[in-house]
Structure 1
Amino acid sequence: MDQPHMASLADVPQRSAPILLVADPDTKIVKELATALEAEGVEVTGAFDGASALLQVGALRPDVVLVSSTLTVINAVDFVRAVRLAQGVPVLLGIGEGHAEQAVRALDAGATACVARPYRVPELLPLVQGAVAGDLRRDRAVLTIGNVELDITAYQVRVGGMLVHLPLREFELLHFLMRNADRTVTREQIMRHVWHSDDTMSTNTIAVHVKRLRARLRDDEDRLIQTVRGVGYRLVTPQRTAPDRAPSD
């Protein structure tokens, strides 16, 4: 991907599309994301380490920055802190497995929201558009079932008002189950929507993650997340008596 020239603020032209700066050391991810988002009317430029990304923030004045938790030279948390202090530009953090603690620190440093990495355009695009519009914080999506509260944009879960740190995969599993509350979802649907895989031979992995998720949610008697033997799982709304519904994809 071509790198933009260094420019003064006076050189920055009037924009017909919002500019997203993607700070990510993986050039393939940046190029694929640029192709997908530019088709949606978002202009994308890339930086492949924290130092060059900071220079581009100052030169380009992007509307939104997407920074990977794997950023080098300047780490993602320090990058977020520097951008928010100096520019006030909305910063989205891309996080993968094992980076949940870093996500919490980045949010404390001023990140606007977190998004799963590798990136998926249907998930990322609304966050970019919301950040550009300036209403992402005001219109935060929160799902609440019983004493479990899941904040989608902040990647946070609270149980009985207490913050519970979930690894990314368990967060996405809980999100999928809560979106389909009181519906039975099959193991195949979970593999497709949470693991983004059609490998039905790996469904034992789901059982392990469900067990861990139940423990973190203090669901000791499996009342919240029920096993539907031979089929999959169902997250049950407390005191619900209506019949099971078909899951939504």
Structure 2
Amino acid sequence: MNNLVEVTKGDHRADGRFVLLVVDEDDVVGEELVSALASYRVRAHHFLHAAEALLGAGAVQPDAAVVAAGLTTMDTGELVRLLADRAGIPTVVGVGDDDGMTAVAALKAGAIAGVRRPYRVEEVVPIFRAIRPDTAGTLDPPIEIGGLRADPATLEVTLNGAPIAVPLKEFKLLYFFMAHADRTVTREQLLAAVWNGAAGDNSNTLTVHIKRLRQRLTLDRTQPPTIVTVRGLGYRFIPPAMAASGAQS
């Protein structure tokens, strides 16, 4: 269990990270969630005992809490009520196979959602994004492929250690491409991911941004671009280490 760390209100958000309170009496399950969320830059504090968690909530000022169903140190529904209703902390309840009734009580007590336990980051992270939309970038881990690295928390891009200045829209394009490396993605997918579809299917906005992004990534002008046009379908991102193999655009 984490030791209670005293912080000044607001100090823990100086880096923009999402702060989470985890209340789970299973040390392994709780710490696995903390560890898994570390790559998403979530600062999670795990408590085994409900009373210590309540004290910890006052100290760490969490953005949200995850509470396991079936607690023995305090009724889960009562803890949810104290966190969600009285302290105003959005609370998610972790539900095991035999926790159906407890989960219902927790939702009635103010929990905003139930998730499977043991926890899966792909289920809890979208909930955190909805709670604090401003942390959407920090909740995505950096991606590094073939010497190219994109960090959504800082919007920094480097190629073989050298920084590349990339505007926000182009960064979002690049990050989407890198997350789908070596797969063809459609214009519709890109417009939805970067512009929420608002740019329109007939707009040349996407074409212009991809052209500019290609130019930024192609440091050696004799090499082919790392973003290949797949005629009639969309685009495909080829990692820099593979780009010299002769891809055609």
> What is the TM-score of this pair, normalised by structure 1?
0.50
> Highest Rg: 1 or 2?
2
> What is the TM-score of this pair, normalised by structure 2?
0.50
